[in-house]
Amino acid sequence: MPTVAGVRSWWRKKAKEIYGKTEDFGGFLVKANSEGRPGPLDYGRTHADGANLLAGALEPYGGIVMWRSFVHDSDDTWDRQAYQDFTPLDGTFADNAIVQIKNGPIDFQVREPAHPLFGSLPRTNSMIELQVTQEYTGHSTHLCYLVPQWKEVLDFDTRKGGKDGKGGKGRKGGKDSDRSKDSGGGKDGDGGKGAGTENSTVADVVTGRVYSYSHCGFAGVLNFGDDRNWTGSHLAAANTHGYGRLAWNPELAAEDLAAEWTRMTFGNDPHVVDTVSALLLGSWHTYEDYTSPLGIGYLTHPPDGSVTGHFDPSPTTTTQFHRSNREGIGYDRTIATGDGYTELYAPAIRDAYESLADCPEELLLFLHHVPYTHRLNNGTTVLQHIYDTHFAGAARVAEMRNDWGGLRRRIDHRRFTDVHRQFGRQLTEAAKWRDTLVAYWFELSRIRDEKRSWLQAVIAPADTALLGGERNELPVQVVNATGSGLRTTVSLDVPKGWRTEDATGYVASGGDTTVQMTVVPPPAPTLATLHAHPRSGSVQVLDASLRSLARTVVVPPAARCVHALDAGPGKAPVLEDYTRLSPDSAWHEGADFGWVGNTPEATDTGLFDVVRRDYVRDSAPAVLRLKLPAGPCTAYLLTGDPHTFNRTLIVHVDGAEKARSEQLDGREFTWLRIPLDGGASGREVDLEFSAKENETWHVSACVVLTDDQG
């Protein structure tokens, strides 16, 4: 607890130890009480109590505490919790503590308003946090130059410290400081002009020109990998350069920074400078157009730690953020009818955000829920704008690749080829975003695109488990986004060794039909990605099946198995003819299987098919004993999690490690294959399940096949 003398003493000793070994140690960056992490609130204390505990330990050495304001308990309060938690504490933070505020209220989305905390803490040192790595903006695959986005935030006038705002007292007890040394940005001097300044932009706030902060500045979240170019893309390094330059001088223009970086990176050829600068400066809006126009917001698949998460489109798992339904789209954050978020801004900004007529259109769906037929200032409906931007944005990526192609022989072959290949990957991913989202909103609204027509088909592998070696009927929904009824033929793209048959059906204009596709997978357990392809003459087809990120799971019929165990709680659904493996399945004399010693816990998420929706899990090792028949056989273990990322599953047999899974993204699963042998007359074998230290293992199913069955 922050106020316990023993805790304070421990941190003082630890700070002394650190500075004894690292004289120029800067201080601590803290994430507390956010996304399940512990913090002072767990002990009935405040964020200021926690920050001041550490600040006190660091103060004798000139160290500082950067305390992140990124706190949220639920998706429903995410946009305003930081404001609600920190503004009542204004003036209570130590002089060498800084509240670190993300540029927007959610989480580095492609479009957000400036965070309402900027300018709301006149007596608390504040700094801005920008994300230089492209976690939500395409990773290193998509070119997305973020300097123009950062400039919009930095130039945003909070109206909270100037003549148009509510003003504020200068921070008491603030010390003069060299901000370029203490906080990575800002200007030297006494911290600013005070509450009477005319301007109160975010840049003015975080450089100490509005309130008399003793510490302020910039923080950047960025990754350097083991690629030769560090950032995974030759062009992504422009964001690293732009961040550093803006931290020292936030008045610099994005156009100048793009040209400056290009000259330093590729030389002074005017054609190269003009072309690369234009590619950089247009890339943010291009990415926004084919992913999240009008401030729709969070649409990427949640990763919870995966390197591939926050990358693919996943509108069906993020509806709590974009609030799409059959009537309309957007998150109502107004005072009148929504969650009241708009009230956190200065009156003039609050009134503009609150008004549907005055709200900036680029933030419309971040702040309002509107019908799909709501008309923008140019007369276009919201849904038509979404259709248009997604198609136009994806098309612009092809133009970007062509523009880069015009630099052949003006840039060295290696880098030219690398970037050209990168644009090819971006073109594929942009088409994925376009098809996934356009198909999603058409399916919800059933309002046709005024300019385009298409067919789309959706498989729901998350709802389907196929039996290996058996004839399965896989339902595929075909949706008609054309102006007339169509007879369609649907085929399945399946892996080698599978058998399938085409199906036909009639689909009314704007309607849908479900056809049953015959599919026979191989007998052995596996996972596969399936795509459905409808066709009717020359009608365009969108690959809407990309919306289902989960792969179809194939399990052998119970009759083929020595053991067919579906793991989970005792009352959860069980796959047909399978046997439940639950925490109550203890080994006993005469049993065919059961736990020996420690028994795990069990969870049923209610998501996915009957096999993947539930599992047994534990942080401690557990031993599953199986009775085997004579001869060689193979155990298959299904591991994964329908929602969050899944840790490593380690399997030992007779004391020797036989299998180890990789960490998996949420919604991803894998089968582990473990060779076993029942000997000449059959025997009992122990499978020990474990995980890495402080992690949890999962098992969703366990099947055992003799080698002639598999």
In 3-state terms, what secondary structure has residue 423?
helix
Residue of 49, 59, 107, 288 marked active site: 107
603, 568 contact by CB (below 8 A): yes
- The CA-atom distances, in angstroms, between 186 and each of 189, 201, 207, 209, 214 are 9, 13, 4, 9, 11
> Is 35 considered catalytic here?
yes
Listed residue (255, 541, 294, 289) closest to 400, CA to CA: 289
- 8 Å CB contact between 224 and 239: no
Residues with Cβ within 8 Å of residue 404, at least 6 apart in sequence: 275, 279, 416, 419, 420, 423
Q: 20: which residues sit within 8 A by CB, 6+ positions away?
A: none
Residue pair 366/333 in contact (Cβ under 8 Å)? The answer is yes
Measured in degrees and rounded to the nearest 5, phi and psi for residue 621 equal -65, 150
Place of tokens 């000139």: 62
Q: Closest Cα to residue 434, out of 456, 401, 463?
A: 456
Return d(Cα 122, Cα 161) in angstroms, integer: 8
Residue written as tokens 């376009």? 434
Question: Residue 335 has what DSSP assignment?
Answer: T
Q: Is 42 a catalytic residue?
A: no
Closest CA relative to residue 249, chosen from 168, 187, 324: 187
Burial of residue 608 (CB within 10 Å: 0-12, 13-18, 19+) is: buried
Quote the Cα angle for 385-386-391, to 5°: 100
Question: Does the annotation mark 17 as catalytic?
Answer: no
Contact residues for 222 (Cβ-Cβ < 8 A; gap 6+): 131, 132, 133, 239, 240, 243
Nearest 10 degrees: Cα torsion 13, 15, 18, 24: -150
Residue whose C-alpha is closest to residue 208's, from 91, 128, 307: 128
β-strands 697-699, 656-660 pairing: unpaired
* Contacts of 535-541 spanning 24+ positions with Cβ under 8 A: 535/455, 535/488, 535/489, 535/490, 535/491, 536/455, 536/486, 536/487, 536/488, 536/489, 537/486, 539/453, 539/454, 539/455, 539/482, 539/486, 540/452, 540/453, 540/454, 540/455, 541/454, 541/455, 541/456, 541/457
- Distance between first and last Cα of the chain: 57
Of the residues 85, 112, 135, 157, which is catalytic?
135
Helices and strands (DSSP H and E) totals, the chain: 14, 31
By the 10 Å C-beta count (0-12 exposed, 13-18 middle, 19+ buried), 71 is classed as: buried
Please identify every residue annotated as catalytic: 35, 107, 135
